[in-house]
Amino acid sequence: MDLPAGPINHHWTKNLIASQDGSKLYVTVGSNSNVAERGMEAEAGRAAIWEVDIASAKQRLFATGLRNPNGLAWEPSTGALWTVVNERDELGDDLVPDFLTSVSDGGFYGWPYSYFGQHVDSRVEPQRPDLVAKAKAPDYALGAHTASLGLAAATGNTLGQTFANGMFIGQHGSWNRRPHSGYKVVFVPFKSGQPAGDPVDVLTGFLNPEGKAQGRPVGVVLDKQGALLVADDVGNVVWRVSAKAL
């Protein structure tokens, strides 16, 4: 499958996950702009999650209106696909929240016309009230400009009961917010297949006392021993977080 790209290729990072039966791949493709300032022609096939059938190579848009989806994970109790999404910039330090959400087949999540459901972004022309009316609100806000990129379900981890059920999220951190946000790995607890409670810090300390980044978490994944691996693209290392030996 040729993914959308081109000479201008904003939000070039991609992620993919196999379906639980191994027959399909789900692939994230971010937008080519902040809020479609280059026109919607430059956004063809972008701001979306694609589904690819491995046997036939047939492909289709699974979910759209997701400005910059990155991490993907299956929620074990419901079988639902979840993603983390980087939302738009230039609306201030406290807008718009990046988010964690379940993704439904055919779902539209607002970008670029609205954010966090049906909050209209007046910067986008022309407006599309018909699409705004269909925009689904995400499940869980992660804070503005946290740049949440990595996502891993808790299944199989050996870090203790606090982390038994939920999602680990790698937050790359803000480039345009004061004070900084993100720059850590957090855990969102789940109950009955849905987020239930405040995020818990898992790995911090990536900012020095002057506010300079010594590291920036990106991908997160569990290894076969149930420890958490964290890719850090400023420190240029992979960190391993394991339970304290008794």
Residues 36-66 have pLDDT tens digits of 999 999 999 999 999 999 999 999 999 999 9
The secondary structure of residue 138, as a DSSP letter, is P
Residue 246 has a pLDDT of 61
- Look up residue 79 and give its two tokens: 């079988």
Closest C-alpha to 183, from 149, 151, 160, 217: 217
| 8 A C-beta contact, residue 235 and residue 214 | yes
- Look up residue 51 and give its two tokens: 């589904």
How much is the pTM? 0.95
Which residue segments constitute the domains of the chain, with CATH numbers given? 1-143 (no CATH), 145-246 (2.40.10)
Q: pLDDT digit string (tens) for 173-196?
A: 887 888 888 999 999 999 999 999
How many residues comprise the chain?
246
10 falls in which pLDDT band (50, 70, 90)?
very high
| 8 A C-beta contact, residue 221 and residue 151 | no
Residue 178 has a pLDDT of 82
| 8 A C-beta contact, residue 188 and residue 167 | yes
81 falls in which pLDDT band (50, 70, 90)?
very high
Task: Give the separation between CA 129 and CA 176, rounded to whole angstroms.
Answer: 30
Closest C-alpha to 82, from 60, 67, 104: 104
Task: Give the separation between CA 195 and CA 142, rounded to whole angstroms.
Answer: 11
**Across 88-117, average pLDDT:** 96
